[in-house]
């Protein structure tokens, strides 16, 4: 599927986020230590202007988890309450738990997608995501970690101009729901067509409060 997806897509009203991905091992190099607290992983630079946040403490985060036969998908935030003007890092994690020594997955610039909604329906979100074809090797106990801190809200405009004015604060005061999905293809053999498509939804939502 992804081998034909060399394009730019935009979704208005739903936030599809692309950030810096931290695989256990990615084809093309071993990478360097991330420095993220509580996480043993290696860093591989991907296209884009986003940078890895080394201030995220993944040991105290709030998470929801979806489990399949071979994978665990986690969607996390650092905490439940933030102050207006603070960054709200959104964390995606994919862990292989099967019986093979390693598996290779194919995905876009990131295998993680996020959906952020304002419960009062006052604000919306928009993001443009590049979709090249990348491959990442996963091993049991070495999760793929993705931290994104670039969420930005806009005040909804009129019907003929749905994107109104960008807000001063990335998350204005209010209540927000965050959902996510991991989407990738698992390579079953050396045959490039022998792949199984996975779409693992978060199976729930995280709710955060942003105070004035």
Helix/strand/coil (H, E, C) string of 145-207? EEEECCCCEEEECCCCCCEEEECCCCCCCEEEEEEEEEEEEEECCCCCCCEEEEEEECCCCEE
pLDDT for residue 155: 84
Q: Partners of 32 in the beta sheet?
A: 43
**pLDDT number for residue 110:** 86
pLDDT at 29: 32
Nearest to 87 by CA among 34, 147, 151, 35: 151
Give the pLDDT of residue 132. Answer: 80
Per-residue pLDDT at 197:
93
Query: What is the reported pLDDT for 163?
Result: 63
Q: Which residues are registered as beta bridge partners of 191?
A: none
> Which residues of the chain register pLDDT less than 50?
1-55
Integer Cα distance of 30 and 50 in angstroms: 20
Q: Are 89 and 56 in contact (CB under 8 A)?
A: yes
- Structural tokens at position 35: 């420095």
pLDDT score of 28: 34
Angle subtended at Cα 87 by Cα 83 and Cα 90, rounded to the nearest 5 degrees: 115
The reported pLDDT for the residue numbered 23 is 38
pLDDT of residue 194: 73
Residue 74 forms beta bridges with which residues? 65, 93
Closest CA to 200 of 78, 79, 64, 47: 64
Report whether 22 contacts 138 (CB < 8 A).
no
3-state SS, residue 73? strand
């Amino acid at each position: 599927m992804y081998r034909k997806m060399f394009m730019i897509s935009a979704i208005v009203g739903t936030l599809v986020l692309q950030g810096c991905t931290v695989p256990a091992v990615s084809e093309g190099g071993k990478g360097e230590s991330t420095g993220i607290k509580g996480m043993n992983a290696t860093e591989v630079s991907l296209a884009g202007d986003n940078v890895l946040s080394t201030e995220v403490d993944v040991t105290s985060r709030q998470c929801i988890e979806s489990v399949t036969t071979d994978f665990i998908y986690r969607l996390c935030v650092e905490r439940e309450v933030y102050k207006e003007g603070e960054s709200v890092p959104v964390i995606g994690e994919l862990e292989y738990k099967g019986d093979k020594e390693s598996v290779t997955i194919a995905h876009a610039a990131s295998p993680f997608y996020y959906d952020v909604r304002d419960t009062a329906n006052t604000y919306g979100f928009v993001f443009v995501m590049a979709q090249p074809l990348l491959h990442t090797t996963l091993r049991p106990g070495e999760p793929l970690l993705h931290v994104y801190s670039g969420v930005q809200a806009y005040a909804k405009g009129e019907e003929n101009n749905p994107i109104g004015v960008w807000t001063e604060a990335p998350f204005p005061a209010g209540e927000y729901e965050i959902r996510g999905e991991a989407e990738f293809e698992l390579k079953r053999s050396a045959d490039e067509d022998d792949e199984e498509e996975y779409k693992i939804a978060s199976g729930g939502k995280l709710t955060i409060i942003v105070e004035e």
